[in-house]
């Protein structure tokens, strides 16, 4: 997630609460807004300042969290082919609970549950902004980049960080038979709109499926054309532009328009996979 002024109601509520909190702290004369509220203790690693409450994390846990953050930072730099060397502020157990956020230039706000199973999504936002020139107007691109940089291994014997696993997971979810009878988690994942329309209509629907799809699509581009082209894409589409310009940019970088690329991506990771599933179940 990234915290911006947005039409997303959940974020709007969090913004209001944050403002109320800030005003309250100003009233009571706090000088260091975030560190005072989000944690009295600061654990410092080479690239992170981690603010936390001592009664919520053991020294051992905080040490592990710091080490993992450093590891993730390295992984993201390697994948992005960047050399981000700045310090990121991390505010743990943010009072709003379960929704982690990245707030550009301020740092990341992460819940206990998130940070104990950290995939690097939030620090990836900050690193992308810092190294690729700022925030992208297209949320599908902003979130897709962060998802594509998550360090997650979905396989049984997790060893971590393999982009092929993310693509396989996407393929698995998208190619499963529809379950129209009852609502379940799978439907929530599959309830999404195409990448093409999320660019053309400048609208990201924030469903889990859209996050996963955007990330998988960028991993697909990265694995076929390399990270440099994906970074160029990010730079070219940083500001809202016309559908024609979007297609022109995709064509220049990847040899096909966005709808064409999405069709091929879907064929490879959904249609083919579905065929395999059907063949397997006979």
Footprint of Zn ion (CB under 5 A): 1-2, 143, 146
Q: How far is the CB of 193 from Zn ion (least distance, A)?
A: 17
Nearer to Zn ion, 2 or 270 (CB): 2
Closest of 130, 133, 20 to residue 85, by C-alpha: 130
Q: How far is the CB of 55 from Zn ion (least distance, A)?
A: 29
Q: How far is the CB of 2 from Zn ion (least distance, A)?
A: 5
Nearer to Zn ion, 1 or 270 (CB): 1
Helix, strand, coil tally for the chain in percent (to 5): 55, 10, 35
Q: How far is the CB of 102 from Zn ion (least distance, A)?
A: 6
Nearer to Zn ion, 210 or 257 (CB): 210
Q: Are 34 and 89 in contact (CB under 8 A)?
A: yes
Nearer to Zn ion, 124 or 174 (CB): 124
Two structure tokens written together for 56: 């919520």
Q: How many angstroms separate the CA atoms of 137 and 199, rounded?
A: 10
Q: How far is the CB of 180 from Zn ion (least distance, A)?
A: 30
* Greatest pairwise CA separation for the chain in angstroms: 70
Nearer to Zn ion, 99 or 266 (CB): 99
Nearer to Zn ion, 2 or 90 (CB): 2
Nearer to Zn ion, 136 or 167 (CB): 136
Read off φ and ψ for residue 108, nearest 5 degrees: -115, 150
Two structure tokens written together for 121: 């999504």
Instruction: Annotate 225-276 with DSSP letters as a single string.
Output: H-HHHHHHHHHHTSS---HHHHHHHHHHHHSS-HHHHHHHHHIIIIIHHHHH
Closest of 183, 191, 165 to residue 269, by C-alpha: 165
Q: How far is the CB of 214 from Zn ion (least distance, A)?
A: 10
Looking up tokens 């939030």 gives 122
Q: How far is the CB of 139 from Zn ion (least distance, A)?
A: 9
Nearer to Zn ion, 210 or 249 (CB): 210
Q: How far is the CB of 30 from Zn ion (least distance, A)?
A: 28
Facing residues of 49 across strands?
Answer: 44, 89
In b/e form, how buried is each residue of 21-48, taking b as 16+ CB within 10 angstroms?
beeebeeeeeeeebbebbbeeebebebb
Looking up tokens 């998550």 gives 150
């Amino acid at each position: 997630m990234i915290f911006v002024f947005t039409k997303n109601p959940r974020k709007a509520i969090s913004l209001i609460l944050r403002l109320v909190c800030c005003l309250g702290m100003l009233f009571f004369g706090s000088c260091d807004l975030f560190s005072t509220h989000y944690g009295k203790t600061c654990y410092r690693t080479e690239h992170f300042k981690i603010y936390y409450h001592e009664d919520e994390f053991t020294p051992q846990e905080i040490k592990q969290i710091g080490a993992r953050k450093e590891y993730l930072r390295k992984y993201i730099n390697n994948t992005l082919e960047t050399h981000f060397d700045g310090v990121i502020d991390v505010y743990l157990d943010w009072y709003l609970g379960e929704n982690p956020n990245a707030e550009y230039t301020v740092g990341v706000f992460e819940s206990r549950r998130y940070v104990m199973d950290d995939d690097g999504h939030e620090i990836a936002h900050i690193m992308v902004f810092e190294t690729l020139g700022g925030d992208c107007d297209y949320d599908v691109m902003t979130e897709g980049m962060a998802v594509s940089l998550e360090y997650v291994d979905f396989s049984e014997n997790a060893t971590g960080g393999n982009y092929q696993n993310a693509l396989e997971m996407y393929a698995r979810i998208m190619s499963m038979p529809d379950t129209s009878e009852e609502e379940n988690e799978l439907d929530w994942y599959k309830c999404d709109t195409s990448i093409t329309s999320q660019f053309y209509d400048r609208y990201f629907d924030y469903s889990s499926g859209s996050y996963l799809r955007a990330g998988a699509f960028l991993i697909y581009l990265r694995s076929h054309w390399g990270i440099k082209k994906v970074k160029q894409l990010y730079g070219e589409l940083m500001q809202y532009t016309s559908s024609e310009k979007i297609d022109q940019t995709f064509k220049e970088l990847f040899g096909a328009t966005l709808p064409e690329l999405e069709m091929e991506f879907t064929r490879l990771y959904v249609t083919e996979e579905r065929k395999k599933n059907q063949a397997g179940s006979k």
